[in-house]
Structure 1
Amino acid sequence: MLNYLISFFFGIIEGITEWLPVSSTGHMILFDEFVKLSMSDDFKEMFLIVIQLGAILAVVVLFFWDIWPFTTPQKGLIKKDKFSMWFKIAVACIPAVILELCLGDKIDAMFYNFQTVAIMLITVGVLFIIVENWNKGRSASVTTIDEISYKYAFYIGMFQLVAALLPGTSRSGATIIGGLVLGLSRTVAAEFTFYLAIPVMFGASFIKMFGFGLHFTGTEIGVLLTGTITAFVVSVFVIKFLMGFIKKHDFKVFGWYRIILGLIVLAYYFLH
């Protein structure tokens, strides 16, 4: 029963931090330091990736008509602008795919530790404040998804590459910073980040599930579903909150949060 409760809390953390630019992986690594699932190490490694499917499904549900590329025969069957968007997302995925093929699990062994998480929480927090101060008063040159060029999509994918390499960076944080630097409006940067997460996290989840072997016990299935469903429900509310928040505010509050959390983490581990 305790494992189900812990899975529930992991789902809450995932649902909140996957979309707010504060690093979901970093928060779950930190939470795992204090509260342990009584499951095998292989299951826990897979669990921390696969529950992100719940968060991704929230994007699919909330933005379904904005991302679905097909229409009625009377309208020509396909939406050309949506197909173009998905091709740009595919281009943005290229750097992360190459990284996964070249390094794969070696990344986990090298960087999945509290020192990396804390340092990247602070570093990206500082970058958010710097970029937002630099961006203040500037008019966005890209105000719709359609206006994102293939070159910009690839550049955003390069920013995502850093997040894939270093836990604590935040995939959403890295791509939003990249978008702001390139001249995207906050809303467009956030939306493209949401859409980019769909193929990335579906791919990562299925790789981890097949790597685990698909041989689940009843308890493992229950724990996995608990975390995934919780992440989905929480994500629905968090995405709606974030889209409303960024229409009136910048991202500096998340930068300060990251810096404070990173300093607390470093202090805790150095003192202990």
Structure 2
Amino acid sequence: MDILILIKAFILGVVEGATEFLPISSTGHLIIVGDLLQFNSERDKVFKIVIQLGAILAICWEYRARLGHVVANVGEPASKRLFVNIALAFLPAAILGVLFHDIIKTYLFTPLTVSMALILGGFAILLIEKYKPEFDTATVDDMDWKHALKIGLAQSMALFPGVSRAGATILGGVVFGLSRKAAAEFSFFLAIPIMFAATGYDLFKNWELLHANDIPVFAVGFITAFFSALLMVRGLLKYVSNHDFRIFAWYRIVFGLIVLAYFSSK
């Protein structure tokens, strides 16, 4: 096994885990880093799908006690409400994703569309931070089904590459009256079914590209994505308790311009 390939897998695992749950678009980062590393073949794209599982398992691990309680006590009002809210928020993007999966993959995964989504999303965050309402829902347990459905609709916008699933759900939650911490936590919970579904669907469609000799590369990326995501999730919750999202807005704008300039010069 070429050590250089393992180093590339490690770098991409760090990028995936560090960006997946921030409102800055993991897709945009993987596109440009993958291009810089010359890691953009069809099999490499499957690798980027697989390492998403490492990131989402970090959420499962971080909230294992909460998730275990919900599963074991689904009949309790609080557990039932969380389960129903996640299911409702999951449906819009899941339905639209199945209907438009091939169109999105074929026509929208381009540097131009991603860079424009990054930039416009950055300005959207600045506007939301300026005009957002005062929150009336402090915790995930205080959410009702209307909050969940609205956030699910907001998540659908993230089917456009570069928008950021985390950005759409977290900022959508803030717009609809959730506290920043509640919006971030619900975004984490919602990521579990939507990312498992999206990753499973992509793997099913690209199964023939997987080979046994790729296991070491996939394992490095998977494990690295898990640990970097775990650290990022813990850090984000601490950050949003005392800060707004403007720093992510400016980061998106600058990064989007870099992506646009980089691919325009090629």
TM-score normalised by length of structure 1 = 0.91
How far apart are residue 214 of structure 1 and its match? 6.4
Deviations 1:46-84 (A, max 9, x none): 22122111111111111112222144xxxx775431232
Partners of 1:160 and 1:70 lie apart in 2 by 24
Deviations 1:101-127 (A, max 9, x none): 211222111100100111011111111
Paired residue for 1:123? 120
How far apart are residue 264 of structure 1 and its match? 1.8
Say which of 131, 143, 161 aligns to 2:138.
143
Computed over aligned residues only, the root mean square deviation of the Cα atoms, in angstroms, reads 1.7
Question: Aligned residue pairs: how many?
Answer: 263
The answer on whether the counterparts of 1:124 and 1:255 sit within 8 Å (CA) in structure 2 is yes
Paired residue for 1:103? 100
Paired residue for 2:218? 224
Deviations 1:127-164 (A, max 9, x none): 111111223xx531011112222122111111111101
Partners of 1:133 and 1:180 lie apart in 2 by 12
Q: Which amino acid aligns with 1:249?
A: H
Partners of 1:257 and 1:120 lie apart in 2 by 13
Partners of 1:213 and 1:246 lie apart in 2 by 39
Q: Which amino acid aligns with 1:20?
A: L
2:172 aligned with 1:162: no
Structure 2 unaligned blocks of 5 or more: none
Q: Which amino acid aligns with 1:5?
A: I
The answer on whether the counterparts of 1:157 and 1:175 sit within 8 Å (CA) in structure 2 is yes
The answer on whether the counterparts of 1:50 and 1:208 sit within 8 Å (CA) in structure 2 is no
Paired residue for 1:132? 129
2:199 aligned with 1:197: no
Closer, same or farther: CA 70–129 of 1 in aligned 2, 3 Å: same
Paired residue for 2:237? 243
The answer on whether the counterparts of 1:96 and 1:157 sit within 8 Å (CA) in structure 2 is yes
Partners of 1:155 and 1:67 lie apart in 2 by 22
Q: Which amino acid aligns with 2:99?
A: C
TM-score normalised by length of structure 2 = 0.93
Q: Name segments (4+ residues, structure 1) moved above 6 Å.
A: none
Between stretches 18-27 and 94-103, larger displacement belongs to 94-103
Q: Determine helix, strand or coil for the equivalent of 1:108.
A: helix
The answer on whether the counterparts of 1:70 and 1:79 sit within 8 Å (CA) in structure 2 is no
How far apart are residue 189 of structure 1 and its match? 0.3
